[in-house]
Structure 1
Amino acid sequence: MNNGSSSFVWNLDREKENIKKHRVDFITASKVFKDPKRKIYKDFRHNAKEHRLFCIGKVGGKILTVRFVYREGKIRIFGAGFWRKDVL
């Protein structure tokens, strides 16, 4: 799925799973990249061909973590979730 922007792509089935599990759609997830204070970190837990990354920032006043890779010049989102107080 291309969200209409040339910057972000994702798999619709993966997005549906993410909405069920974390209640976050990937259009909302893409907004984290607009946060001027966002931070991007490498995901060292996965040894894959592609380098997985996390983007952490605020969307709607809440902290959101987005898991993604860079692929063919685009950001491919594959997971996202808001931080919850009960797991901090």
Structure 2
Amino acid sequence: MRCTFEWDEKKNLTNQKKHGISFEEAQYAFADKKKIILFDLIHSKSEKRYFCITQIKRGIITVRFTYRTKKLRIFGAAFWRAGRKKYLVR
């Protein structure tokens, strides 16, 4: 199944400055067969939000996203240091 991605470009630029990763690069998280998708129980009451935890070339990342009108909308991405050992063992 092929995924279509979208995001707010202003948020993408802010994310790059703050976390050192673009949403363009974060898209690759969804191609990893070992990715972990978790439901975000805390951050939104108005829509279902998720975390995708996976490894890309530069390290392990968490991508925050939701589904909107047959598109996967990325609204955050960052390198994930706390769970690195657990992910690599999996």
TM-score (norm 2): 0.83
**Aligned partner of 2:21 among 9, 21, 24:** 24
For 1:20 and 1:10, the matched residues in 2 are separated by 16
| Aligned twin of 1:81 | 78
Give unmatched runs, 5+ long, in structure 2. 86-90
How far is the alpha carbon of 1:47 from its aligned partner? 3.4
Find runs of 4+ consecutive structure 1 residues off by over 6 angstroms. none
When the two chains are superposed, the root-mean-square deviation of aligned CA atoms in Å is 1.9
Deviations 1:5-37 (A, max 9, x none): 861000000001100100100010000000100
Structure 1 unmatched runs, 5+: none
State yes or no: 1:50 paired with 2:69: no
**Partners in 2 of 1:27 and 1:46 — Cα distance?**
23
Q: Does the 8 Å contact 2:52/2:64 carry over to 1?
A: yes
Q: Could you tell me how far 1:48 is from its partner in structure 2?
A: 2.2
Partner residue of 2:34 out of 31, 34, 37? 37
Counterparts of 1:63-74 in structure 2 under 5 Å? 63-74=60-71
Q: What is the rounded CA distance, in whole Å, between the counterparts of 2:81 and 2:50 in structure 1? A: 20
**Shift, 1:61, TM fit:** 5.3
